[in-house]
Amino acid sequence: MSYLPYAVAAWLFLVGLYGVISSRNLVHLIICVGVIQSSSYVLLLAIGYRTGAAAPIFVDIPVGTPAVDPVVQALMLTDVVVEVTVVALLLALAIQVHKRHGTLNPDELRKLKG
Q: Which of residues 9-38 bind other proteins (CB under 8 A)?
A: 9-29, 31-38
Q: Which of residues 47-106 bind other proteins (CB under 8 A)?
A: 47-51, 53-59, 63-64, 67-102, 104, 106
Beta carbons within 8 Å of 12's beta carbon, 6+ residues apart: 35, 36, 38, 39, 42
Nearest-approach distance from CB 2 to other proteins, in angstroms: 4
Nearest-approach distance from CB 66 to other proteins, in angstroms: 8
Nearest-approach distance from CB 64 to other proteins, in angstroms: 8
Could you give the CA distance from residue 114 to residue 111 in angstroms, rounded to a whole number?
9
Could you give the CA distance from residue 97 to residue 17 in angstroms, rounded to a whole number?
22
